[in-house]
């Protein structure tokens, strides 16, 4: 899992995913901690994903999407990715 | 970038992505090397992605999808993910 260094295009894409995760999470009334636990992802890592600070892996995107009752394709579609 | 150890569900998901990448690549008449170069991904890494042997990052999924003239959401949709 790479730390993201400062390329704006890269940051923008990851931020779009993070924003989509946050919006879907809030629409389901879930706390960030509850989503992290449901997805089986470390809580501090989930915070970094929501802030667009981590280049998340496909398997974690799938886990997050499943915890939000959706598919990874749907989640990326909502993020415009 | 994690090496994938042997969990079958994990392997199945990554293999579905790899199969979708290969199918889209062949439908465009691209060699694996040409796709790797177009996406800016190391050729041996691309081979591992197509074989489902690597937990690819979101940014690399986006790069591969763009090199195949599509979105990451579309590519994951084709993979059933």
Q: Does A71 touch chain B (CB under 8 A)?
A: yes
Q: Supply the pTM of this predicted model.
A: 0.89
Residues on chain B touching A6 (C-beta within 8 angstroms):
none
Give me the interface pTM, i.e. the ipTM: 0.88
| Residues B74-77: contacts with CB under 8 Å, at least 24 apart | B74/A73, B75/B17, B75/B20, B75/B21, B75/B24, B76/A71, B76/A72, B76/A73, B76/A76, B76/B17, B76/B20, B77/A71, B77/A73, B77/A77
**What integer pLDDT is reported at residue B10 of this predicted model?**
81
Q: Check CB contact under 8 Å for B55 and A59.
A: yes
CA distance linking residue A64 with residue A58, whole number of Å: 10
Ranges of residues in chain B with a pLDDT under 50 are: 1
Give residue A10's pLDDT: 80
The tokens describing A30, both together, are: 């879930």
A45 vs A47: CA distance, rounded Å: 5
Q: Answer whether B77 touches A (CB < 8 Å).
A: yes
Q: Are A79 and A17 in contact, with CB atoms under 8 Å apart? A: yes
Could you give the domains of chain B? 8-78 (1.10.260.40)
Distance from CA of A72 to the nearest CA of B (A): 6
DSSP letter assigned to residue A2:
P
């Amino acid at each position: 899992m790479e730390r993201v260094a400062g390329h704006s295009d890269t940051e923008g894409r990851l931020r779009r995913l993070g924003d989509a995760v946050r919006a879907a999470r809030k629409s389901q009334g879930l706390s960030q901690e509850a989503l992290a636990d449901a997805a089986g992802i470390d809580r501090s890592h989930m915070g970094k994903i929501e802030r667009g600070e981590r280049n998340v892996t496909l398997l974690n995107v799938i886990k997050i999407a499943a915890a939000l009752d959706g598919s990874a394709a749907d989640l990326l579609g909502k993020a415009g990715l």
